Amino acid sequence: MKKNILAALIAVTAVAGCASNSSSSSSAPQDNGVPSWIHKPLSSKGVAVASCVEYSGSYNADYNYAEMEGRTRLMRSFESRVSNLQKTLKSQSRQEAGVVNTAQFEDAAKNVVNGKLKSAFIEDSALVSIFGKDQVCLLMTMPSQETKEIFNELTEESQNISPDDRDAMYQEFLAERAEADLDSTLKATN
């Protein structure tokens, strides 16, 4: 049973990685009715990720697996964003002769993100065929307000940040660079 669940999680991760890959290549499938958010998860409502699991015949079970995978991908997305923010804060604190305690920052970040992850919601769902296999796909979104609160809580102790720098840091926190770093991390682990 545990091996089946582990195998399913590995398969889900592989499929979700393929489904959310934003680069196009000659081997990419044609649209065939697949919503664009599966290939490029974007939302005006906040930070979004797509997750897909192979349809097993039990839509509810597959939907729950896709939701779990979506929350995991969202958490990883925020881990990447927090890592980039930490580098920026560390660089700035060196200039100000301060020190950022990496372990404390990471622990605080995990607590903040975990607390806000409960606010994530399923914005869209679809049952689609990808490479000839039915997939249950979800668009999981972290609302913009919670994303801003995560950023504010992580930077509130850095009192020497000018408003302009804070705005620039927030835009970088939201930027696709964090997504690109996450994609390269995922590729390196596969």
Structure confidence at residue 132 (pLDDT): 93
pLDDT of residue 54: 96
Residue 80: phi and psi, rounded to 5, are -65, -45
Give the model's pLDDT for residue 182: 56
* pTM for the full predicted model: 0.68
Q: Which residues of the chain have pLDDT under 70?
A: 1-32, 92-103, 157, 159-160, 176-190
pLDDT for position 29? 39
